[in-house]
Chain A
Amino acid sequence: MYKLLRNENMKLYSKFGTWLMMAILLLVVGLVGLISKYDAPPPDVSQWRSHIEQNIQAIQNSLQNERNPQIARQLEDQLKINEYALSHGFVPIDYTAWSYTKEAISMIPLISLFVIVVAGGIVANEFSWGTIKSLLVKPHSRSKILLAKYMSVLQYALVLLILLFAATFACKGLLFDFSYWDTPYLSVDAQGHVQEGNVILHLFATYLLHSVELLFVATIAFMISTIFRNPSLAIGSSILLLVLGGLATNLLAVKYDWIKYSLFANTSLTMYQDGTPLIEGMTLPFSLIVLGSYFAVFMVITWTVFTKRDIVR
């Protein structure tokens, strides 16, 4: 299995396009970083204490008029974190080089796009090149060969996420400075105590949480690539889904309740952190079940089609 994966990676990383996409990602990170340096400079680090004090004041004011217990709870947590940061001298993430990494979550759809290109080609190309025949007359089951391909796609997605993560930090650090990079990530636990966490782990976990949509569009591209053996079709339709899926879901969610069973209504798992699900009554376990079901269906279709198909001209 390891050797099969190594083969897939050898084929993937020998292609110019694979490296081009990484280069484009770095270029975008660099450009956006430069623009923000001159266009929207970050808050002054030396002023962070007074900013936090102002923020504490503002939170206390809004707390007095807040009726919604859920929002009140969030505000109280924020208050605790601010006070903890002040008393321990922990600079908030927004004042460090990690701020760009945090903002760059909005660039994950770009990674989705690149991963779709890889996922849409990885099976279909073998058919169009005719190499699928030599691939399948080797002593390995078709399931294993397909799994190696799928894993190679996920690995590429992970490489791009790590690249984005590291590049944004490096870019921000080089353009401004790296100081306070080891500031802890503060959160409030269920007992109401403030906890210190590792900022790198927290941010990367957040990246993964925002990558659910990426996982699904890549899986769909992989499925279409396997069923129709046509890279353009797989890439095109998956990009369409990526662009329109979320948008259409949000529009329809206003009118129809059943939309909560659709895939894209459930891919933004962070909505449960913010406390405002797309449709009232949706919960995290509900979304996980819906996502799990879609994933299982996609996998079964992809693997069944690939293992049962006759390879003819």
Chain B
Amino acid sequence: MKSEPVVQLRNVTKKIGLKTIIHPISLDIHKGKVFGLLGPNGAGKTTIIRMIVGLASITQGQITIHGANVKYEFEKAIQHVGAIVENPQMYTYLSGYRNLIHTANMLPHVDRKRIKEVIALVGLEKSIHQKVKTYSLGMKQRLGIAQALLHRPSVLILDEPTNGLDPAGIRELRDHLRKLAEVEGTAVIVSSHLLSEMELMCDEFAIIQDGKLIGVKSLEEMMHHDSSDVTIALQVDDPEEAYEALTTAPLDISCTLKDQTLTVKLANDQIPRVVFTLAQGDINIYEVKRVTQTLEDKFLEMTGVR
């Protein structure tokens, strides 16, 4: 079902002097998907985004957008892209409307009607003629999105879009991006170090660390991969005894005892046998709880921080 990728990175490398900032990376970003670039600060997400939008040069490899090479056919490639790199920056001494006019003047086929449309889309009708210096961060963010969407780009690129937003703002942005991807078929690329947010926003992730691509996973893959291996937490009346009983039993499990909580990592089909073993040892079981691993745990596991 996957179509031709809209944005393609092929062995993209960035060197500054002798130092390699980005090791060869290849990625495909598809229509109608929200693609996340995840990684700790300084991992190279921003550098990758800057190379895609032509702000930073590409040392080796190539990036194409709708088949146009960013390096050699920049204007052709970038006309499909709406981008906010880092926080949206505006001319604060101009009104929101003039900022939009400024952007519209640089884009093909944007008329007054479309400008009105995007103002309504981001809900800034009331304050659009005020100077941007009077705007709150959330309003600036919405104005930034309006600017990025003016020419109905088929690729939307947002660098750290949730930075500085309050939870309501983040939620609003998330709904917006999902809608764009699902309804309009826009390919969205976002970067972030906030996993919990990306978890709700993205369909696919590339995990970046130290300028290297660690892996590309879809959300389902991330969450349900090796689902045969689960972790359960047990509440029993005598944890020490229970620990003793489980470690001596002939089971293929690993137990840890910490703060009176017994945590067991095991294959899914081993759970009844654990319960059985404990019951046989005359230990009272109050609760058997499955511990779902969050994306964050997975992420930290993959990047080897934990």
Q: Which of B54, B56, B91 contacts A312 (CB 8 A)?
A: B56
Q: Which of B55, B56, B78, B106 contacts A4 (CB 8 A)?
A: B106
B98 interface contact, C-beta 8 A: yes
Please encode chain A, from 110 to 136, with 1 for each CB lying within 8 Å of some chain B CB and 0 for all others: 000000000000000000011101111
With an 8 Å Cβ cutoff, the count of chain A residues facing the other chain is: 25
Q: Which of B47, B88, B91 contacts A11 (CB 8 A)?
A: B91
In the bound assembly, the distance between CA atoms of A313 and B57 in angstroms comes to 14
B222 interface contact, C-beta 8 A: no
A37 interface contact, C-beta 8 A: no
Q: Which of A7, A130, A139, A311 contacts B50 (CB 8 A)?
A: A311
Name B's interface SS.
loop
Residues in B with CB closer than 8 Å to A139 are 74-76, 78-79, 106-108
Q: Which of B56, B94, B106 contacts A138 (CB 8 A)?
A: B106
Residues in B with CB closer than 8 Å to A137 are 53-55, 78, 81, 83, 85
**Distance between A148 CB and nearest chain B CB, rounded to angstroms:** 10
Q: How large is the interface on B (under 10, 10 to 19, 20 to 34, 35 or more residues)?
A: 20 to 34
**Distance between B188 CB and nearest chain A CB, rounded to angstroms:** 16
Residues in B with CB closer than 8 Å to A310 are 50, 55-57
In the bound assembly, the distance between CA atoms of A136 and B92 in angstroms comes to 18
Which partner residue on chain A sits nearest B105 by CB separation? Answer: A3
In the bound assembly, the distance between CA atoms of A129 and B132 in angstroms comes to 13
Which partner residue on chain A sits nearest B157 by CB separation? Answer: A137
**A-B contacts besides A10-B102, A134-B147, 18 pairs, CB < 8 Å:** A3-B106, A7-B106, A10-B94, A10-B98, A129-B91, A129-B92, A130-B86, A130-B87, A131-B91, A133-B86, A133-B89, A134-B85, A134-B88, A134-B103, A139-B75, A140-B75, A140-B106, A310-B55
Query: A residues engaging B (CB < 8 A)?
Result: 3-4, 6-7, 10-11, 14-15, 129-131, 133-141, 308, 310-313
14 A-B Cβ contacts within 8 A? A6-B105, A7-B102, A129-B89, A130-B87, A131-B89, A136-B54, A136-B55, A137-B54, A137-B85, A138-B78, A140-B106, A308-B57, A310-B55, A310-B56
Query: B residues engaging A (CB < 8 A)?
Result: 47, 50, 53-57, 74-76, 78-79, 81, 83-94, 98, 101-103, 105-108, 147
